[in-house]
Amino acid sequence: MMNIGRRGVHYLHTLNNVPKNLTEKGQSRVIEASLTLIRERAKLKGELVRALGGAKASSSLLGVPLGHNSSFLQGPAFAPPRIREAIWCGSTNSTTEEGKQLDDPRVLTDVGDVPVQELRDCGIDDDRLMNIISESVKLVMEEDPLRPLVLGGDHSISYPVVRAVSEKLGGPVDVLHLDAHPDIYDCFEGNKYSHASSFARIMEGGYARRLLQVGIRSITSEGREQGKRFGVEQYEMCKFSKDRPFLENLKLGEGVKGVYISIDVDCLDPAFAPGVSHIEPGGLSFRDVLNILHNLQADVVAADVVEFNPQRDTVDGMTAMVAAKLVRELTAKISK
C-alpha cells in the first residue's frame, strides 16, 4: 500500500536530474492530455444525452483514484473500478429504488478517471493536482445536462470537487456530508490537503453556505472548535435518535446554487460496510442513509462517494456493493 505514495516521490527525485524546462514541458503535455481525455469523453456523453432528449439533469461518473492524502491507509485509490464493477456486476437489476433505469444514458453516463498516479509520476504536486481535479469536474459540468457524480478516492478529493462546482455555478452550495469524522482539521499532520482537512478548505474558500455533517462519532475538540468557527451543523450519532425526524426530512438549497452530497462510506456502521480504512463502530444503518437521501428535498447538483477501501473489503465484495448502491441511489437523486 505504501508503494502508491512512494512512487510519486521516486519519480520526482528522478526528475531532479532533468532540465527544468524539459520537465515543465512534459508535465504540461501530460496535464493537457489528461484534461483532453475528460473533455472529449464528456462531450461525447453530453451529445448523446442531448440527442436522446428529455433530461434536465443527468448523472455522470468521474473517477478520482487518489489515496495518498489518507492519514492511515491508501487503499481508496483502488476504489473507482471496483465500484463500477459492482454497479454493473449483474447480481441485481439496473433499477434504483426510486424507479430510475441506470442503463438509460439520460440517467447515468461515465467519463472515466482522472489519471492521478500518472500525473504524480510526472512530479505534479498537490496544488496542481487539485486544480486538475477541479478542471476535470468543470469539463463535465460544461456539457449540459451532465452533473458530476465523483468516485473517490480518499476524502481529500471533495475539496477540489466542491470548489469546482461552486465556481462553475457562480456561488456557494449547501453541503450534506455523511461521515464518521468531520474532516475539518485546519492542517492534519502538516498536510493542508489531508483527507481529514477537506472541509476546512471548503469552508475557508466560501464554497459552502451550510455544511451539515451527519453520522459523526469520532470527533476531537479541534473538530468541534472548527465546526463552531465555520458555523457547521454537526449531528453526532450519540444523539441520532433525537435528530432522526429532522434529518429524514431535510430541505436544503434555497437561496444558493444547489446542494452537494458527500458520502464517506465509513458513515455506515462497519456491520454494513467493513471495507473502509477507518473502522468506527456505532454508525448509521444503510437504511438510515437511504431514508435521509430519499426524503431530501433539494436540487442535487453534484455528489461524491469516497473512502471505500477495496483492500479491506474481505467479505465477498460486500462493501463494493454498498458503495455501488450509494452511487445508484445518488444517481436517482441527481437525474431528472
| CATH number of 295's domain | 3.40.800.10
Contacts of 57 (CB under 8 A, 6+ apart): 145, 147, 334, 335, 336
Does residue 95 belong to any structural domain of this protein? yes
Say if residue 266 carries a ligand binding annotation: yes
Query: Which whole number is the average pLDDT over 264-291?
Result: 98
Number of domains in the chain: 1
Query: Which whole number is the average pLDDT over 101-115?
Result: 98
Does residue 1 belong to any structural domain of this protein? no
Where do the H-state alpha helices sit in 189-239?
198-204, 221-230
Q: What confidence tens digit (pLDDT) does each residue in 207-263 have?
A: 999 999 999 999 999 999 999 999 999 999 999 999 999 999 999 999 999 999 999
Does residue 312 belong to any structural domain of this protein? yes
CA-to-CA distance for 156 and 273, rounded, in angstroms? 20
- pLDDT exceeds cutoff 50 at 134: yes
**Per-residue confidence band for 22, with pLDDT thresholds at 50, 70 and 90:** confident
pLDDT score of 38:
98
Where do the H-state alpha helices sit in 75-157?
79-87, 116-121, 126-141
- pLDDT exceeds cutoff 70 at 30: yes
**Per-residue confidence band for 14, with pLDDT thresholds at 50, 70 and 90:** low
Does residue 240 belong to any structural domain of this protein? yes
**Per-residue confidence band for 5, with pLDDT thresholds at 50, 70 and 90:** very low
pLDDT score of 6:
45
Does residue 32 belong to any structural domain of this protein? yes
**Per-residue confidence band for 16, with pLDDT thresholds at 50, 70 and 90:** low
Q: What is the largest CA-CA distance in the chain?
A: 62
- pLDDT exceeds cutoff 50 at 9: no
Amino acid at 218: S
- Strand, helix or coil at 67? coil
Say if residue 195 carries a ligand binding annotation: no
**Per-residue confidence band for 21, with pLDDT thresholds at 50, 70 and 90:** confident
State percent of the chain over pLDDT 90: 92
pTM for the whole structure: 0.94
Nearest CA to 84 among 121, 111, 106, 54?
A: 111
Does residue 5 belong to any structural domain of this protein? no
Does residue 8 belong to any structural domain of this protein? no
Cβ–Cβ < 8 Å for 294, 142: no
pLDDT score of 23:
87
Say if residue 104 carries a ligand binding annotation: no
The parent domain of residue 285 ranges over 15-334
**Lookup: cell for 264:** 464517506
Say if residue 183 carries a ligand binding annotation: yes
CA-to-CA distance for 75 and 2, rounded, in angstroms? 9
Does residue 2 belong to any structural domain of this protein? no
